[in-house]
Amino acid sequence: MWGQGSNTRTGAVGIAALLALLWASSGCGSGSTNPAAIEFKSPGIRADGFLSPGVHCGWGALWLPLKWGAVPDGTKELAIFIARFKEDSASGRDKPTITYADLIYHVNPTLRRNAANVLPTEAQWSAVGKTSCPTPWGHQKIAQAVFALERTRVRRLTRQEATRLTEEALQAERSSKPISGPPGPLREDATGMGSFVAAYAPGAGP
- Mean pLDDT in residue range 182-196: 83
Q: Is the pLDDT of residue 176 over 70?
A: no
Helix axes 13-25, 159-174, angle to 10 degrees: 120
- Can you give the pLDDT at residue 188? 85
Look up the pTM and report it.
0.79
Cβ atoms < 10 Å from Cβ of 32: 7
For the chain, percent of residues with pLDDT exceeding 90: 45
- Mean pLDDT in residue range 97-107: 94
- Can you give the pLDDT at residue 134? 60
Q: Is residue 169 within 8 Å of residue 196, measured between CB atoms? A: yes
- Can you give the pLDDT at residue 186? 82
What is the band of 7 on the pLDDT scale with cuts at 50, 70, 90?
A: very low
What is the band of 42 on the pLDDT scale with cuts at 50, 70, 90?
A: very high
The 10s digit of each residue's pLDDT in 120-152 is 999 999 999 877 666 555 678 899 999 999 999
What is the band of 168 on the pLDDT scale with cuts at 50, 70, 90?
A: confident
The vertex-128 CA angle with 82 and 169, nearest 5°, equals 35
- Can you give the pLDDT at residue 43? 93
What is the band of 8 on the pLDDT scale with cuts at 50, 70, 90?
A: very low
CATH H-level, domain 13-199: superfamily:
PEBP-like (3.90.280.10)
- Can you give the pLDDT at residue 104? 96
Q: Is residue 94 within 8 Å of residue 87, measured between CB atoms? A: yes
The 10s digit of each residue's pLDDT in 10-27 is 444 454 544 444 444 444
3-class secondary structure, 178: coil
**Strands, sheet with 113-114, edge to edge from the N-terminal-most edge strand:** 40-41, 66-68, 113-114
- Can you give the pLDDT at residue 10? 41
Q: Is residue 120 within 8 Å of residue 114, measured between CB atoms? A: yes
Which residues have C-beta within 8 Å of that of residue 128, sequence separation ≥ 6? 98, 100, 101, 102, 157, 158, 159, 162
- Mean pLDDT in residue range 171-200: 78
How far apart CA 123 and CA 2 sit, in angstroms, is 9
The 10s digit of each residue's pLDDT in 46-82 is 999 888 888 877 766 788 999 999 999 999 999 999 9
- Can you give the pLDDT at residue 75? 96
- Helix, strand, coil share (%) of the chain residues, nearest 5: 15, 30, 55
Q: How many CA atoms lie within 13 A of 52 on its CB side?
A: 14
Q: Is residue 116 within 8 Å of residue 55, measured between CB atoms? A: yes
